[in-house]
């Protein structure tokens, strides 16, 4: 359904919606097409005391930090994840550099504020020291934990112990071509394992090596495949995502009082058809969409969710810049697509992130020769394109440094952590792990 027609029929949030209305709404909102001009980023961080990263931070201290940050003038939205991770979500920016500059300024304020509370931020894809412990006790997270626990402990680790760099880009043009939404959708899933490998930064868990360069990606792959997996990639994107949305089980049925109902195997489609335990509303649809966790999530724009949180204060800039260049510069986009297209055969028919290619990327990083070769070409294309996108010298230097330090040598940030773990024994010492 054309987007304009969808808006004419859009149900109000509290009104019940039928299966047909849900399908029309999802088709209308999942890919908002047009010139790809805007960029955004969502940054998750582990929070701990500067000299005691292995010590859990109490809910009272996290709430004090959140309260202090509410008094600051920030452009980004600051939220707290269930395990106490801090997230900064930028507003859509008109350019890469606007996004980098705005979020960098916000991060400086956040770090200064946390410093007064004897807290700091660390960029790691998974907490290497602390067991997962939920500090937010709200009906949403109670229901989420109950639902995810049915498939094992990966869900709790996902909620409480992981952190990422999520890159948000416009869906692209309606028409075919390197900047068309269908091409960008496919590119995101084929480039995804290259990004996983190049930026893997979570090889430790519970103080031990896990055997994965990106334990975070392994954790996400370990939750229910229907919720964490992509829809079939050989179908038209809108149709595939709409069917995926309708056929994925709802995580909960919200209520005015806790606890929320956590049904077993009730798909959104079945709920709409039966109307039990109550008819779903537009608000329920919007909520259901937030409980789908594929590596690429269409939210009008494309949300790329496969990159581990990065080391250092500014490490997040590198995946943001590289990905933006490979999607928004037509020449770089075409080079990237030609480079990663052959990886489709190795990925096979299993949707990401459960395909052999994605799992190899998470396990081996750029020690995988094929992924290293693809990363080298993609980083070179990004470095060529970034000046055309107006990237500042410090952004170019950061990307070039990552290419020289890691990509050219078949390494990723996780390898630095593994080297430290080898030096100090099975666990990473807290004072040296703060990055």
List, as one string, the DSSP characters of 30-61.
SB--S----EEEEEEEEEEBTTBTTSPPPHHH
The predicted structure's pLDDT at residue 421: 86
**What stretch of H or E contains 298?**
strand 296-299
| Residue-level pLDDT at 14 | 80
> What pLDDT, on a 0 to 100 scale, did the predictor assign at position 7?
36
pLDDT number for residue 424 = 55
Distant-in-sequence, close-in-space partners of 351: CB < 8 Å, separation ≥ 6: 229, 230, 231, 232, 233
Q: What are the residue ranges of helices labelled H in 248-293?
A: 268-274, 282-290
Nearest to 284 by CA among 9, 17, 7: 17
* pLDDT attached to residue 431: 41
d(CA 193, CA 295): 10
pLDDT of residue 58: 95
Return per-residue pLDDT of the chain as tens, 435 residues: 333 333 334 445 589 999 999 999 999 999 999 999 999 999 999 999 999 999 999 999 999 999 999 999 999 999 999 999 999 999 999 999 999 999 999 999 999 999 999 999 999 999 999 999 999 999 999 999 999 999 899 999 999 999 999 999 999 999 999 999 999 999 999 999 999 999 999 999 999 999 999 999 999 999 988 899 999 999 999 999 999 999 999 999 999 988 999 999 999 999 999 999 999 999 999 999 999 999 999 999 999 999 999 999 999 999 999 999 999 999 999 999 999 999 999 999 999 999 999 999 999 999 999 999 999 999 999 999 999 999 999 999 999 999 999 999 999 999 999 999 877 554 454 444 444
Calculate ∠ Cα 45-381-323, nearest 5°. Answer: 25
**Backbone phi and psi for residue 234, each to the nearest 5 degrees, phi listed first:** -95, 15
Q: Give the Cα separation of 280 and 269 in Å (integer).
A: 10
What CA–CA distance (Å, rounded) separates 340 from 412?
19
How is 299-362 classified by DSSP, letter by letter? EBEEEEEEEEP-SSSSTTHHHHHHHHHHHHSHHHHHHHHHHHTTHHHHH-SSPTTSSHHHHHHH
The pLDDT tens digits for 288-324 are: 999 999 999 999 999 999 999 999 999 999 999 999 9
Give the tens place of pLDDT for each residue, 119-135. 999 999 999 999 999 99
What's the count of helices (H) and strands (E) in the chain, helices before strands? 20, 9
Render pLDDT for 27-37 as a digit per residue (tens, 0 to 9). Answer: 999 999 999 99
Contact 282, 9 (CB under 8 A): no
Q: What's the confidence (pLDDT) of residue 66?
A: 96
CA 193 to chain centroid, in Å, comes to 13
Predicted model pTM = 0.94
DSSP state of 23: H
Q: Find all residues with CB under 8 Å of 278, minimum gap 6, and list them.
A: 253
Residue 250's CB is within 10 A of a number of other CB atoms, namely: 23
pLDDT of amino acid 6: 37
CB 206 within 8 A of CB 345: no
Quick one: tokens of 411? 């390494």
């Amino acid at each position: 359904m054309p987007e304009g027609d969808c808006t004419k029929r859009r149900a109000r949030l509290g009104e019940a919606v039928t299966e047909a209305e849900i399908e029309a709404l999802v088709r209308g909102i999942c890919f908002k097409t047009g010139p790809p001009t805007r960029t955004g980023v969502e940054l998750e961080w582990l929070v701990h005391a500067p000299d005691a990263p292995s010590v859990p931070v109490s809910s009272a201290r996290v709430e004090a930090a959140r309260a202090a940050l509410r008094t600051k003038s920030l452009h980004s939205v600051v939220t707290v994840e269930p395990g106490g991770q801090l997230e900064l979500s930028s507003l859509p920016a008109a350019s890469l550099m606007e996004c980098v500059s705005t979020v960098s300024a916000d991060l400086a304020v956040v770090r200064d504020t946390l410093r007064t509370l004897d807290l700091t931020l660390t960029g790691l894809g998974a907490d290497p020291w602390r067991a997962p412990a939920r500090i937010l006790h709200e009906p949403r997270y109670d229901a989420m934990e109950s639902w995810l626990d049915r498939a094992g402990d990966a869900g709790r680790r996902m909620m409480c112990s992981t952190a990422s760099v999520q890159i948000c880009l416009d869906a692209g043009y309606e028409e075919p071509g390197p900047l068309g939404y269908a091409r960008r959708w496919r590119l995101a899933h084929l480039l995804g394992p290259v990004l996983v490998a190049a930026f893997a930064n979570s090889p430790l868990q519970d103080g031990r090596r896990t055997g994965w360069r990106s334990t975070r990606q392994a954790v996400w792959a370990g939750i229910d495949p229907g919720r964490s997996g992509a829809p079939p990639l050989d179908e038209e994107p809108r149709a595939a995502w709409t069917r995926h949305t309708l056929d994925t089980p709802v995580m909960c049925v919200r209520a005015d009082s806790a606890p929320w109902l956590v049904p077993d195997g009730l798909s959104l489609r079945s709920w709409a058809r039966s109307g039990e335990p109550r008819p779903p509303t537009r608000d329920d649809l919007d909520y259901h969409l937030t409980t789908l966790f594929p590596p690429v999530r269409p939210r009008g724009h494309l949300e790329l969710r496969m990159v581990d949180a990065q080391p250092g204060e500014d490490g997040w800039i590198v995946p943001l810049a590289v990905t933006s260049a490979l999607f928004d510069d037509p020449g770089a986009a075409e080079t990237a697509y030609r480079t990663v297209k052959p990886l489709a055969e190795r990925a096979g028919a299993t949707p990401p992130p459960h395909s052999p290619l994605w799992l190899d990327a998470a396990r081996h990083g750029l020690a995988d020769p094929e992924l290293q070769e693809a990363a080298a070409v993609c980083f070179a294309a990004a470095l060529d394109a970034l000046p055309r996108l107006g990237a500042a010298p410090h952004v170019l230097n950061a990307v070039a440094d990552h290419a020289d330090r890691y990509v050219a040598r078949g390494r990723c940030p996780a390898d630095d952590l593994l080297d430290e773990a080898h030096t100090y024994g099975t666990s990473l010492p807290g004072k040296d792990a703060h990055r």
